[in-house]
Amino acid sequence: MNKKTLYISEIGLLSAFAIILSYVETLIPIPIAVPGVKLGLANFLVLLCLYIYGIKEAIIVNLIRIFVIGCMFGNLFSILFSIAGAGISLMVMVMVKKTNLFSMTGVSVAGGVSHNMAQILIAAWLVNSTQIVFYLPVLVVCGIVTGAVIGILAGVIVKHIPGKQINRNGDKIL
Amino acid sequence: MKMNKNDYFLIIACAVLAGVLFLIFEKCRDDNGKYVVVRDDGEIVLELRLDTETEYRYKNSYGFNTIVIKNNCVYVESSDCHNEECIRQGKISKTGESIVCLPHKVVISIGAGNIKTENDELDGVAG
């Protein structure tokens, strides 16, 4: 098959999977419902993209996911809010990955924690009130737990994707 | 899949951060949460007693939120915001907890309130 076709279909497949995970996430109620704070299931796919392909692909899949989910369940406001959180989280994950000190689990934990922190700080800034910062400790703990679970799972999956053990930059995974 | 030493270090660092933040907030927390404080774009616009049974329809330029106080709990019963996230956030009853309606810029939280300290005597008279 044409390499480019394969590439496009792979990105499409990963985006579809990310969209489904984002949707499943909306069905799971979480007790602390601060706006924008989620379990971060979709981060699983973003993490896989980051390791299997690279930064560019992780950004593409993330944007497609946020845009489609935003059109189906949200509006322009929620899209922008999600992009802010996802962008900061991805930036942190890329930086943590670049240090080469951490495994996928560490990168995922950093992503989860930074996502939750970013969302709550942006929310506090938007409503001009520091009241909701009260939830920060709980959210950091949530980020650690979901980040660790997702990181471990993604680590298992990456090992079983044939022929994709080395990403486009030639970095060896794990 | 394997976690290395640095991963554990990162997790512990994050947990410590959460613990420290928790202790700081716990220290600053006003335990005297007798009031439901409604903030609109950061400014206190309404203070209601938590131990009453009441329903209040707060309206601003973005839309409305119907706030219900019942059995020492506060919740948003209805709202015309697009995601109804404020309704989904359910009931709150403890000091420091809050309900946020992001699209309306409204934060409903439980705290000691400001009006009380200023008009303490008046409140007592109105009792």
For B38-62, what is the mean pLDDT? 87
Alpha carbon of B125: minimum distance to chain A alpha carbons (Å): 30
Tell me which residues of chain B, numbers 59 to 118, contact chain A at a CB-CB cutoff of 8 Å.
Answer: 82-83, 85, 88-90, 96-98, 100, 102-103, 105-107, 109
Kindly report the pTM of this predicted structure.
Answer: 0.80
Choice between A15 and A40, residue whose per-residue pLDDT is larger: A15
**B15 CB burial (10 A radius; 0-12, 13-18, 19+):** middle
- A33: chain B residues, CB-CB within 8 Å: 85, 88-90
Instruction: Considering only the beta carbons, identify the residue of B11, B88, B105 that sits closest to A33.
Output: B88
pLDDT in tens, A142-153: 889 989 999 999
Q: Is B110 helix (H, G, I), strand (E, B) or coil?
A: strand
Q: Give the containing element (helix H, strand E) for B109.
A: strand B106-111
- Of A112-126, A128-142, A154-168, B3-17, which range is least confident? A154-168
Residue A91's pLDDT band (cuts 50, 70, 90): very high
Alpha carbon of B51: minimum distance to chain A alpha carbons (Å): 21
Distances (CA, A) of B63 to A34, A75, A122, B14, B101: 19, 16, 21, 38, 10
Mutation pick from A132, A142, A153, A158 vs chain B, by most beta carbons of B within 10 Å, is A132
For B28-52, what is the mean pLDDT? 83
CB-based contact (8 Å) between A100 and chain B?
no
Q: Are A96 and A73 in contact (CB under 8 A)?
A: no
Residue B121 has what DSSP assignment? Answer: H
Mutation pick from A79, A105, A115, A126 vs chain B, by most beta carbons of B within 10 Å, is A105
CB–CB contact B85 A29 (8 Å): no
pLDDT of B119: 44
- Give chain A as a DSSP string: --HHHHHHHHHHHHHHHHHHHHHHHHHS--S---TT----TTHHHHHHHHHHT-HHHHHHHHHHHHHHHHHHH--HHHHHHHHHHHHHHHHHHHHHHHTT-S-HHHHHHHHHHHHHHHHHHHHHHHTT-SGGGGGHHHHHHHHHHHHHHHHHHHHHHHHTSTT-SB-TT-PBP-
Residue labelled with tokens 């601003």: B60
pLDDT in tens, B59-71: 888 888 899 998 8
Strand order in the sheet with B98-101: B43-49, B35-40, B106-111, B98-101
Q: Are A115 and A143 in contact (CB under 8 A)?
A: yes
CB–CB contact A77 B103 (8 Å): yes
Is the ipTM, as predicted for this complex, more than 0.90? no
CB-based contact (8 Å) between A81 and chain B?
yes
